[in-house]
Chain A
Amino acid sequence: MSTAPETPTFAEFDQTVIKPQTPMQRFASDFMESKLAVIGLLTFLVILCLALLAPFISPQNPYDLMQLDIMNGKLAPGEQDMMGDITFWLGTDDQGRDLLSGIFFGLRISLFVGAMSAFLALFLGGGVGLFAAYMGGKWDTFLMRLVDLQLSFPAILIALVLLAVLGQGVDKIIIALVVTQWAYFARTIRSSALVERGKEYIEAAHCLALSRNRVMFTHLLPNCLPPLIVVVTMRVAYAIALEATLSFLGMGLPVTEPSLGLLISNGFEYMLSGRYWISFFPGLALLVTIVSINLVGDHLRDILNPRLQK
Chain B
Amino acid sequence: MNENTNNNRLVEIEGVSKRFVKSLDFAGKIAQKLGANIREEVVRAVDDANIYINRGEVVGLVGESGCGKSTLGRMVAGIMKPTEGIVRYDGKDIYKLEGNEARDTALKTQMIFQDPFASLNPRMRMQDIIGEAAVVHGICTRQNFDEHVDMVLDRCGLDPEFKRRYPHQFSGGQRQRIGIARALSVNPECIVCDESVAALDVSIQAQILNLFMKLREELDLTYLFISHDIGVVEHISDRIIIMYLGRVVESGTTDEIFASPNHPYTQVLLREVPSLETRHHQFKPVDGEIPSPIDPPSGCYFHPRCPHATDRCKQENPKLRDIAPGRTSACHLNDG
Q: Which chain A residues have a beta carbon within 8 Å of chain B's beta carbons?
A: 20-23, 199-201, 203-211, 214, 218-219, 222-223
Residues of B contacting A20 with CB < 8 Å? 165, 169
B113's partner among A203, A208, A209, A223 (CB-CB below 8 A) is A203
A200's partner among B109, B118, B132 (CB-CB below 8 A) is B118
Chain A: CB-nearest residue to B114? A200
Q: Are A208 and B186 in contact (CB under 8 A)?
A: yes
Q: Are B121 and A219 in contact (CB under 8 A)?
A: yes
CA of A201 to CA of B129 in the docked complex: distance in angstroms?
10
Q: Which chain B residues have a beta carbon within 8 Å of chain A's beta carbons?
A: 74, 77-79, 102-103, 106-107, 109-111, 113-115, 118-124, 132-133, 136-137, 165-166, 168-169, 179, 182-183, 186
B111's partner among A23, A204, A210 (CB-CB below 8 A) is A204
Q: Are B120 and A207 in contact (CB under 8 A)?
A: no
Interface-central residue, A22, A23, A203, A219, by most chain B CB under 10 Å: A203
List 11 interface pairs A-B (beta carbons < 8 Å), by A numbering. A20-B165, A22-B166, A200-B113, A201-B118, A201-B120, A204-B119, A204-B179, A205-B121, A207-B109, A208-B107, A209-B106
Residues of A contacting B107 with CB < 8 Å? 208-209
Q: Are B110 and A201 in contact (CB under 8 A)?
A: no
CA of A241 to CA of B282 in the docked complex: distance in angstroms?
70
A210's partner among B102, B133, B183 (CB-CB below 8 A) is B133
Residues of B contacting A219 with CB < 8 Å? 121, 124
Shortest Cβ distance from A137 into chain B, in angstroms?
11
A201's partner among B79, B106, B119, B183 (CB-CB below 8 A) is B119
CA of A201 to CA of B183 in the docked complex: distance in angstroms?
12
Residues of A contacting B183 with CB < 8 Å? 207
Chain A: CB-nearest residue to B105? A209
Chain A: CB-nearest residue to B79? A206
Shortest Cβ distance from B103 into chain A, in angstroms?
5
Residues of B contacting A209 with CB < 8 Å? 102-103, 106-107, 133, 137
Q: Are B133 and A208 in contact (CB under 8 A)?
A: yes
Chain A: CB-nearest residue to B136? A210
- Are A223 and B169 also in contact (CB < 8 A) when A203-B113, A204-B179, A207-B77 are? no
Q: Are A214 and B136 in contact (CB under 8 A)?
A: yes
Residues of B contacting A222 with CB < 8 Å? 123
Q: Are A200 and B133 in contact (CB under 8 A)?
A: no
Q: Are B106 and A207 in contact (CB under 8 A)?
A: yes
Shortest Cβ distance from B59 into chain A, in angstroms?
19
Shortest Cβ distance from A282 into chain B, in angstroms?
42
Shortest Cβ distance from B77 into chain A, in angstroms?
6
CA of A268 to CA of B264 in the docked complex: distance in angstroms?
85
Give how many A-B residue pairs fall within 8 Å (CB-CB).
Answer: 63
Interface-central residue, B109, B133, B168, by most chain A CB under 10 Å: B133
Main secondary structure of the interface of A (DSSP, over half): helix
CA of A76 to CA of B207 in the docked complex: distance in angstroms?
79
CA of A287 to CA of B110 in the docked complex: distance in angstroms?
56
Residues of B contacting A206 with CB < 8 Å? 79
Q: Are B119 and A207 in contact (CB under 8 A)?
A: no
Chain B: CB-nearest residue to A211? B136
Q: Are B182 and A204 in contact (CB under 8 A)?
A: yes
Residues of B contacting A210 with CB < 8 Å? 132-133, 136
Q: Are A223 and B122 in contact (CB under 8 A)?
A: yes
CA of A209 to CA of B182 in the docked complex: distance in angstroms?
13
CA of A223 to CA of B167 in the docked complex: distance in angstroms?
13
CA of A209 to CA of B114 in the docked complex: distance in angstroms?
20
CA of A201 to CA of B110 in the docked complex: distance in angstroms?
13
Residues of A contacting B169 with CB < 8 Å? 20-21
CA of A206 to CA of B102 in the docked complex: distance in angstroms?
12
Shortest Cβ distance from B251 into chain A, in angstroms?
25
Shortest Cβ distance from B96 into chain A, in angstroms?
16
Chain A: CB-nearest residue to B165? A20
CA of A204 to CA of B120 in the docked complex: distance in angstroms?
8
Chain B: CB-nearest residue to A223? B123
Interface-central residue, B74, B79, B115, B137, by most chain A CB under 10 Å: B79
Chain B: CB-nearest residue to A20? B169
Q: Are B118 and A207 in contact (CB under 8 A)?
A: no
Interface-central residue, B119, B120, B121, B122, by most chain A CB under 10 Å: B121
Residues of B contacting A204 with CB < 8 Å? 111, 113, 119, 179, 182
A199's partner among B74, B118, B133 (CB-CB below 8 A) is B118
Shortest Cβ-Cβ A-B pairs, 3 listed:
A208-B133, A200-B119, A209-B106
Q: Are A201 and B121 in contact (CB under 8 A)?
A: yes
Q: A204-B113, A207-B183 are in contact. List 17 more A-B contacts (CB 8 A).
A: A20-B165, A21-B169, A23-B168, A200-B115, A200-B119, A201-B119, A201-B121, A203-B74, A203-B79, A203-B113, A204-B111, A207-B106, A208-B106, A209-B102, A214-B136, A219-B124, A223-B122
Shortest Cβ distance from B110 into chain A, in angstroms?
6
Q: Are A223 and B166 in contact (CB under 8 A)?
A: no
Residues of B contacting A201 with CB < 8 Å? 118-121
CA of A114 to CA of B122 in the docked complex: distance in angstroms?
32
Residues of A contacting B182 with CB < 8 Å? 204, 208
Residues of A contacting B79 with CB < 8 Å? 203, 206-207
CA of A209 to CA of B100 in the docked complex: distance in angstroms?
11
Shortest Cβ distance from A25 into chain B, in angstroms?
11
Chain A: CB-nearest residue to B134? A208
CA of A215 to CA of B103 in the docked complex: distance in angstroms?
15
CA of A247 to CA of B166 in the docked complex: distance in angstroms?
48
Shortest Cβ distance from A309 into chain B, in angstroms?
10
A207's partner among B110, B122, B123, B124 (CB-CB below 8 A) is B110
CA of A199 to CA of B116 in the docked complex: distance in angstroms?
11
CA of A223 to CA of B183 in the docked complex: distance in angstroms?
22
Shortest Cβ distance from B296 into chain A, in angstroms?
25
Chain A: CB-nearest residue to B133? A208
CA of A306 to CA of B141 in the docked complex: distance in angstroms?
37
